[in-house]
Amino acid sequence: MAKPTRPFPIIAKISSPSAWAAQWPVYIVSSLHMAVPGKEAPTTVDTMASPLLSLATAALAVAVLISTTEAWRATPTPLPVLPIPSAAQLKWQRREVIMFFHFGMNTFTDSEWGTGWEDPSLFYPARLDATQWMDAARAAGASLAILVAKHHDGFCVWPSEYTAHSVRASPWRGGRGDVVREFVDAARARGVDTGLYLSPWDRHDERYGQEVAYNEYYESQLHELLTGYGSVSEIWFDGAKGKDATNMTYHFQEWFQTVKQLQPSINIFSAVGPDVRWVGDETGEAGTTCWSTVNRSMITIGEASDEKYLNEGDPRGSDWVPPECDVSIRPGWFWHKSETAKPLRQLLEIYYNSVGRNCVLLLNVPPNSTGLVEDADMARLREFGAAVATIFGTDLAAGSEARASSVRGAGFAARNVLDGREDTYWAPTAEDGRRDVYWIELRRPPGAQARPFNVVRIQEHVALGQRVERHAVYVDGAPVAYGTTVGHKRLHRLPCPVAGGTVRVWITARRGPPLLSAVGLHYDPFVAAATM
């Protein structure tokens, strides 16, 4: 009787590891199969050697399968560091520059805070052109424009059904005008999203001071604005009130919930959010440390004692409420003939201190009494928008090689910080945290090393939380900038332009592994070195 034999797998005929992996069960089974007596096997081995050979063959097949399976398996996304932004908050943060239009009765009375008893016949913007306003917004790079629908004087620039103190009582458009309607229609035609401001303090309405009656009146006007004009991206509340104002309790929580019911994707601005907070000043300047997180229970609308907390945020905050920097292009919020726009240098300073410190810049531009943005203001907005585009339109880090202290996986490569995308980012391994070393480095191509830069841009992937607590920037081994928080965007203006081949960002303190979506290098020719 012939010795039992087993077929020997012919591995050389398999075209690729993936093909082998796909067929490995067949080969393993055939390698263990006992040959039938009387049937000749294509290749035979000695029975003493065949068990070991079969085991080796099976082991090889399993190893190939495991390695192939590993190649198919993506590296998981890092866990978020809570809290994190909503989709609407994230979209808002990426706007970076938005615009405010203060226009109403004060425009015609040369006032900032009206008395509430102005004659509606004073309101007559003979040349009002909301399309020109949107051109102003686009010139500044704004994708969202917010209109003051009612200021503290109580005059409504839409024909509200709940008061006689509105454009309906004015001679403008024969009493049939509606600034809000013209505003939202012009915005949509120009591809600009819209927002509205409705002042809680009302110096005209006789119900003010009657808690239930006035809150019902206010909420009814909210309902008009949020159901009659299509999608609204942001609604603005504040706690401004004169020292001699009638005592009044606002039902903010009821208002907020009504707003969300009527417009679920809207962002609500107030000192306490819930979606966007005030930065704590009206100069357009965030703190050099600026967290998107706060504890809302620690903030009260209208209380000045909260300003430092609003300005800096809270690394231990339980609520994601990023800051908005409101500032006017002129000294006042409403148009005054005697005032002029801030110079370009000051507007750029504001940009670096707001957008460059993890904020959105809300820049106010007041139309004049004819209903137009002044030509000089329009020219300044174009100048500002062009300057920002010039500075940040060219990234002197382009073409660099990126490397890092470690990489979490294939989808989280260091080079992601150079691809210009918001949804990709560099992520390190947890090992770096145990060694307390996180860094990412750009090696500029030889032809670019001589090109100087004076702005370093760093951005976090804040969709998974704000993490960086402290960082430093080195060029060719020498420190050029230090900072605390990064957030959506941190801009470092250097004391003077520098050139170099290697730029390294060290993350020296953080909440969890840092996730950086961008590192860029730029040259700003507009700001003199002495002011930087």
Picking from 331, 361, 393, the residue at the C-terminal end of a domain is 393
Picking from 344, 375, 393, the residue at the C-terminal end of a domain is 393
Q: What is the DSSP letter of 487?
A: T
Domain with 479, as residue range(s), is 401-522
**Is 44 among the domain residues?**
no
Closest CA to 527 of 384, 314, 396: 384
State pTM to two decimals.
0.86
CATH number at residue 118: 3.20.20.80
- Asked if residues 95 and 143 have their Cβ atoms less than 8 Å apart, the reply is yes
Helix (H) or strand (E) holding 140: none
Closest CA to 188 of 231, 140, 126, 252: 231
Residue 444 and residue 299 share a domain: no
Q: What is the pLDDT of residues 478-511, one digit of tens each?
A: 999 999 999 999 999 999 999 999 999 999 999 9
Residue 385 and residue 422 share a domain: no
Residue 269 and residue 204 share a domain: yes
Residue 415 and residue 379 share a domain: no
Residue 347 and residue 255 share a domain: yes
Residue 216 and residue 120 share a domain: yes
**Is 472 among the domain residues?**
yes
**Is 516 among the domain residues?**
yes
CATH number at residue 497: 2.60.120.260
Residue 473 and residue 354 share a domain: no
Dihedral of alpha carbons 280, 283, 287, 291, sign:
positive
pLDDT-based confidence at residue 447 (cuts at 50, 70, 90): confident
Picking from 393, 419, 434, the residue at the C-terminal end of a domain is 393
Q: What is the pLDDT of residues 30-79, one digit of tens each?
A: 333 333 333 344 433 343 445 444 544 444 444 444 444 455 689 999 99
Beta-carbon contacts of residue 301 (< 8 Å; ≥ 6 apart)? 237, 238, 239, 250, 252, 270, 271, 272
Residue 381, pLDDT above cutoff 70: yes
Q: Average pLDDT of the chain?
A: 88
Residue 425 tokens read as 């980012």
Residue 305 and residue 225 share a domain: yes
**Is 82 among the domain residues?**
no
Between the CA atoms of 237, 294, 518 and 405, what dihedral angle is there, to the nearest 10 degrees? 180
Residues in the chain: 532
Total number of domains constituting the chain: 2
Residue 152 and residue 122 share a domain: yes
**Is 510 among the domain residues?**
yes
**Residue recorded with tokens 């110079």:** 343
**Is 188 among the domain residues?**
yes
Give the Cα separation of 354 and 329 in Å (integer).
14
pLDDT-based confidence at residue 433 (cuts at 50, 70, 90): low
Residue 99 and residue 246 share a domain: yes
Q: What is the DSSP letter of 355?
A: T
Q: So what's the pLDDT on residue 505? A: 98
For the segment 221-239, the average pLDDT, to the nearest whole number, is 97
